[in-house]
A = this chain, B = another copy of it.
Amino acid sequence: MAKVSPRTLSGFMELLPAQQMKMERMMQILRDSYARYGFTPLDTPIIESAEVLLAKGGGETEKQIYRFQKGDSDLALRFDLTVPLAKYVAQHYGELAFPFRRYQIGKVYRGERAQRGRFREFYQADIDVIGDGKLDILNEAEVPAIIYDTFHALGLSRFKIRVNNRKLLNGFYAMNGMSEKAGEIMRTVDKLDKIGAEKVKQLLIDEVKMLPCKAENVLDFMAICGTNAEVIEALERYRGMDATFDQGLDELITVTKYLRDFGVPEENFAVDLTIARGLDYYTGTVYETEMCDHPEIGSVCSGGRYDNLAEYYTDKQLPGVGISIGLTRLFYVLNEQGLLSDELVTAPCDALVLPMTEELGFAVAAATALRKAGLRVQLYGEKKKFKAKMSYADKIGVPFAVFIGEDEMNEGVLSVKDMRSGEQVKLSPDEAAAYMARRIAVLNSGSVIKE
């Protein structure tokens, strides 16, 4: 029979078992962490009506979208988790309690040009808090504080959450009479990291058509740095010139104060005036998160405050604040950099029970007892030679092999071999369970990410 070559589409991540276990562990940490802060899990369809999904329309997104007909229906695959959230909240408004706090970890689709490290199907892991009409600024500090906590739980500590406020930027541009050019200026300033201040200044003059003195004003403003207290002190010098700026500064001061209240150390967050976030709809605090030792990979977690989550679906004013982890990309980068722990158990089971006799009653009972003690246990039922069985145990990387032969059955014990040390002991089923559970707990006590 002619065979079809089995292959996975480029831009689609498909992991081997050990890697998948690490990904699962990361996802479980995210779920636990988000749930611990009172976010409810949400699951929305991957396919939506194209009209609903593209209500906002236009832009880069529309070109990348997976869109197709099925029967008479014009369908599209979701390209983020924010639009489905907006739809959900507008649709179920009357049944939800506000603030509505939800997390969602799900696949999204963008038909980007395929290249290494870029994915067309990828997981996002989002949290959002949505208010009905109003939403307290406390949420703008809590959301990055949750990210701090979550990253810590993953094992990351060398990261920095960069915080800015859109009102501060808009106010600054207004006080300089540059409001109309604000978008263009922000896009140009965004290149500071890549091309440096001199070239940005030249672009502002040549392409954005700014007077040199105004371009300098912008660069002076963006150059403000130091500790958070120093940055805020520098910003205070602009106070009184624009009401929006003053409001943004007050918000920034409040958010940084609350971030300290939430226990986020200064080394993990920084006011950074160059952060703007591309999307138009952010209106207050904005975030980007950089891995200190890998700035080249860009922001691994971004978001901010918006005033109108669902304006394309409803007249209700639904302000919110949210943040999104690009999970597939983060996993890919960590894996490439060798930052994922190899100490955690990634085998499909903790113990491989190897019966050496025809009669399986005792082996089945032993496997059941070990499972009751919380161990993941595979009963090996293939009739193979001892060597083949051990080679299987090695290949799956199982921490413990459990031999059950005539002797063990007669004595009512299990022979437990620690596959790492080679040490082998005979124990009663209960002792064996406790012994292995203790060691497995130690193996799994580390973080999934090793810096």
> Does B41 lie within 8 Å of A21, measured CB to CB?
yes
C-alpha gap A1/B228 in the complex (Å):
40
C-alpha gap A395/B95 in the complex (Å):
9
Is A216 interfacial (CB 8 A cutoff)?
A: no
C-alpha gap A138/B383 in the complex (Å):
10
C-alpha gap A91/B24 in the complex (Å):
22
Is A135 interfacial (CB 8 A cutoff)?
A: yes
> Does A46 lie within 8 Å of B263, measured CB to CB?
no
Is A247 interfacial (CB 8 A cutoff)?
A: no
| Given A8-B48, A36-B371, A42-B20, A3:B379 Cβ within 8 A | no
C-alpha gap A147/B92 in the complex (Å):
35
> Does B364 lie within 8 Å of A262, measured CB to CB?
yes
Is A293 interfacial (CB 8 A cutoff)?
A: no
> Does B377 lie within 8 Å of A47, measured CB to CB?
no
> Does A14 lie within 8 Å of B383, measured CB to CB?
no
Query: From A348, which residue of chain B is reached at the shortest CB distance?
Result: B40
Partner of A263, one of B68, B315, B368, B382: B368
A73 to B: closest C-beta gap in Å: 7
Is A422 interfacial (CB 8 A cutoff)?
A: no
Partner of A348, one of B39, B68, B315: B39
Flag A1-32 by CB within 8 Å of B: 1 or 0 each.
10111111100111111001101100000000
Q: Which A positions have Cβ atoms within 8 angstroms of B?
A: 1, 3-9, 12-17, 20-21, 23-24, 35-49, 51-52, 55, 66, 68-71, 73, 75, 86-88, 90-92, 95-99, 101-102, 107, 109, 111, 121, 131, 134-136, 138-139, 142, 258, 261-263, 310-315, 348-349, 352, 360-361, 364, 368, 371, 375-379, 381-383, 392, 395-396
Subset of 14 A-B contacts with CB under 8 Å:
A3-B312, A4-B313, A6-B87, A9-B73, A9-B75, A14-B44, A21-B40, A37-B349, A45-B121, A47-B66, A97-B395, A131-B382, A139-B381, A262-B364
Supply 8 further A-B pairs (C-beta < 8 A) apart from A8-B44, A261-B364: A6-B314, A9-B48, A9-B73, A38-B379, A40-B348, A45-B121, A46-B121, A66-B70
